[in-house]
Amino acid sequence: MSSLGPKQRIFASLADIAQAIGHAHRLEILEHLAQGERSVEDLAARIGLTIANTSRHLQILRRARLAEPRRDGKRMLYSLLGETDVIALLKALGRIGERNVAEIEVVMASYFRTRDALEPVSRQDLLARIHDRSVTVLDVRPEDEFAQGHLPGAINIPLAALERRIALLPRDQPVIAYCRGPYCVLSVEAASALRRLGFDARRLEDGYPEWKAAGLQVET
Amino acid sequence: MSSLGPKQRIFASLADIAQAIGHAHRLEILEHLAQGERSVEDLAARIGLTIANTSRHLQILRRARLAEPRRDGKRMLYSLLGETDVIALLKALGRIGERNVAEIEVVMASYFRTRDALEPVSRQDLLARIHDRSVTVLDVRPEDEFAQGHLPGAINIPLAALERRIALLPRDQPVIAYCRGPYCVLSVEAASALRRLGFDARRLEDGYPEWKAAGLQVET
DNA sequence: CTATCGTTCAATCAATCCGTTGATTGATTC
DNA sequence: GAATCAATCAACGGATTGATTGAACGATAG
């Protein structure tokens, strides 16, 4: 009993990692870190937590070796540790949730599909249409996230500024909107608004982090 | 505060799934279920838990929609729900652990690598060598697990019976041993024992569930 | 009806966890 | 050096909750 077998020890460590992603706030933190490195303050503001609470959750992610800080002047910038693997883990978690969990199906149906009845566009589809130049790629994340990396040739119009800057979008070809990931609502809202305005608009099935993790080209 | 956004609701559900796999015993249960369906009693005996405790853990996996029971006479047989996705999730978790967590690296180095200094064989390698017929595939799991499914052409000699039935193994070609998965020690012990006995023996990097989940051919 | 298998209950014990407060550390700026 | 800003830490309350076991309960087979 005192000393566990090697399998048990490994499972105990893996369980610690699973515990670390077992909280909604931490999943949201990871979603933001997947866009690029972020300060504690920045994360707290974006998610709506206190600084202290955000710091605590970051410590948990850090202990589980999912995120890592580096100091930059007086702020600490956190980023994913082993970005691609973390995104793959979150993707595997999301897939199982979407396939097995009724509650998620309900949310997807009641929110995403009523606002955006059309099927999302897959990465492969979008890649092909970028090559054809038969599509406008629209990044609706805030400007600072866009600046940290985005899809090749994408135009950045944050959701809040969409109606104001609508003239930037050509009307003669379809628009594909994307944002932070499969559960980020920005691209849903954007596609919905654009269709109301007469555009042929759809959204990418997931977001920038998944694109990057798939090894596809990105711009800075 | 009363009603969360759609993203928060989805993350809360995903966090529940993550919590469910956040316990070493449950990871071990999942490893066994990945071999095929199992009764509560059977799982309890294999893992070394009481029936009541095993049952409770299974309820948690069930609530998280990772496993599902069906009744067979007086026993309840549990199996993975969405087998391929669950195995993919565990694989993603394992990968991140192996890359990021020092404790796991220590165990791998101190147990697996001292017993089996050679690099494990990848699935692709093994597949090619099965086609060549240049290798003996050895399944060292218990007979009942072998009976529920195994790699094409594999010979089954449970680890406990290995020395007794050693004559079944041809000595003129390499042996590749496999078992339940990447953290199962059976194939490590087998490869180690076989090399002591003069065989050219190595082990597969993971096990039967991963082979099956990759869509490769299996026999029953 | 009895034996078997599993679930659930009640209880225990322990642990953990979340979020907050207020003090403190580190780094920068004036 | 003093002031300022960012983040962490220690500590706490409170709640939660989690693992585990034995006993009681339900379902099924023979």
Whether A76 and A164 map to the same domain: the answer is no
Residue A2 pLDDT level (bands cut at 50, 70, 90): very low
- Tens digits of residue pLDDT in A29-62: 999 999 999 988 888 888 888 888 888 888 889 9
Whether B204 and B131 map to the same domain: the answer is yes
Please, are residues A139 and A150 in contact by the beta-carbon 8 Å criterion?
A: yes
- The answer to whether A219 CB sits below 7 Å from nucleic acid chain D is no
Distance B52 CA to D22 C1' (A): 9
Structural domain harbouring A38: 6-81
Question: pLDDT (tens digit, 0 to 9) for every residue of chain B, 220 residues total?
Answer: 335 788 888 998 999 999 999 989 999 999 999 999 999 989 888 888 888 888 988 989 999 999 999 988 888 999 999 999 999 999 999 999 999 998 899 998 888 888 877 789 999 999 999 999 999 999 999 999 999 999 999 999 999 999 999 999 999 999 999 999 999 999 999 999 999 999 999 999 999 999 999 999 999 8
Which member of B86, B99, B108 has the closest CB to residue A96? B86
Q: Does B96 sit within 8 Å of A85, measured CB to CB? A: yes
Cβ contacts of B83 on chain A, cutoff 8 Å? none
- The answer to whether A43 CB sits below 7 Å from nucleic acid chain D is no
Find tokens 């995903």 and name the residue: B14
Distance B30 CA to D25 C1' (A): 28
- As a whole number, the mean pLDDT across chain A is 91
Residue B25's CATH number: 1.10.10.10
- Tens digits of residue pLDDT in B18-30: 999 998 999 999 9
Q: How many CA atoms lie within 13 A of A56 on its CB side?
A: 7
In a domain, A92, yes or no: no
Q: Does A21 touch chain B (CB under 8 A)?
A: yes
* CA distances for B96 relative to A90, A171, B73, angstroms: 11, 44, 41
In a domain, A219, yes or no: no
Q: Does A88 sit within 8 Å of B92, measured CB to CB? A: yes
The rounded distance, in Å, linking the Cα atoms of A142 and A46 is: 11
Q: Which residues 151-190 of chain B have a CB under 7 Å from nucleic chain D?
A: none
- Distance from the Cα of residue A192 to its chain's centroid: 19
Establish, for the pair of chains A and B, how many residue pairs have beta carbons separated by less than 8 Å: 158
Q: Which of B36, B63, B81 is the last residue of a domain?
A: B81
Best probe of the A interface among B1, B8, B9, B11, by most A CBs < 10 A, is: B11
Whether A65 and A138 map to the same domain: the answer is no
Whether A13 and A57 map to the same domain: the answer is yes
Q: Does A195 touch chain B (CB under 8 A)?
A: no
Distance A74 CA to D2 C1' (A): 17
Please, are residues A210 and A123 in contact by the beta-carbon 8 Å criterion?
A: yes
- Distance from the Cα of residue B109 to its chain's centroid: 20
In a domain, B91, yes or no: no
Q: Give the nearest chain A residue to B97 (CA atoms).
A: A14
Residue nearest to nucleotide C18 (CA to C1'): A53
In a domain, B104, yes or no: no
The DSSP string of chain B is: --S--HHHHHHHHHHHHHHHT-SHHHHHHHHHHTTS-EEHHHHHHHHT--HHHHHHHHHHHHHTTSEEEEEETTEEEEEETTHHHHHHHHHHHHHHHHHH-HHHHHHIIIIIHHH--SPPBPHHHHHHHHHHT-SEEEE-S-HHHHHT-B-TT-EE--GGGTTTTGGGS-SSS-EEEE-SSTT-SHHHHHHHHHHHTT--EEEBSS-HHHHHHTT---B-
Distance B52 CA to C3 C1' (A): 19
Distance A208 CA to C27 C1' (A): 33
Give the list of residues 6+ apart from residue A96 with CB closer than 8 angstroms, or none.
B17, B65, B66, B82, B85, B86, B88, B89
Give the neighbor-by-neighbor strand order of the sheet with B155-156: B155-156, B136-139, B175-178, B201-203
pLDDT for B3:
54
* pTM of the predicted model as reported, rounded to 2 decimal places: 0.91
Q: How many CA atoms lie within 13 A of B210 on its CB side?
A: 19
| Joined tokens for residue A103 | 């509650």
Cβ contacts of B103 on chain A, cutoff 8 Å? 9, 13
The rounded distance, in Å, linking the Cα atoms of A40 and A56 is: 10
Residue A141's CATH number: 3.40.250.10
The rounded distance, in Å, linking the Cα atoms of B48 and B45 is: 5
Find tokens 């992610």 and name the residue: A61
- The answer to whether B79 CB sits below 7 Å from nucleic acid chain C is no
Please, are residues B82 and A96 in contact by the beta-carbon 8 Å criterion?
A: yes
Q: Does A100 sit within 8 Å of B66, measured CB to CB? A: yes
In a domain, A123, yes or no: yes
Whether A197 and A123 map to the same domain: the answer is yes
Please, are residues B184 and B35 in contact by the beta-carbon 8 Å criterion?
A: no
The rounded distance, in Å, linking the Cα atoms of B74 and A41 is: 57
Please, are residues B21 and B30 in contact by the beta-carbon 8 Å criterion?
A: yes
pLDDT for A1:
34
pLDDT for B113:
82
pLDDT for B30:
94
Question: Is A184 one of the catalytic residues?
Answer: no
* Among the listed residues B98, B147, A81, the one whose alpha carbon sits nearest the alpha carbon of residue B90: B98
Calculate how close chain A gets to B110, using CA atoms only, in Å.
9
In a domain, A104, yes or no: no
In a domain, A62, yes or no: yes
Q: Number of structural domains, chain A? A: 2
Whether A63 and A138 map to the same domain: the answer is no
Q: Give the nearest chain B residue to A12 (CA atoms).
A: B24
Whether B134 and B199 map to the same domain: the answer is yes
Interface of A with B in 97-136 (CB under 8 A): 97, 99-101, 103-104, 107-108, 111-112
* Among the listed residues B88, B64, B25, the one whose alpha carbon sits nearest the alpha carbon of residue A101: B64
Please, are residues B57 and B28 in contact by the beta-carbon 8 Å criterion?
A: no
Find tokens 């972020």 and name the residue: A38
Cα dihedral B40, B62, B210, A124, rounded to 10, equals 170
Residue A3 pLDDT level (bands cut at 50, 70, 90): low
Please, are residues A213 and A88 in contact by the beta-carbon 8 Å criterion?
A: yes
Please, are residues A126 and A176 in contact by the beta-carbon 8 Å criterion?
A: yes
Whether B122 and B203 map to the same domain: the answer is yes
Measuring from the CA of residue B51 to each C1' atom, give the nucleotide at the shortest distance. C6
Whether B42 and B127 map to the same domain: the answer is no
Residue ranges in B112-207 assigned as alpha helix (H): 113-115, 123-132, 143-147, 186-196
In a domain, A176, yes or no: yes
- Tens digits of residue pLDDT in A55-102: 888 888 998 999 989 888 888 889 999 999 999 999 999 999 999 999
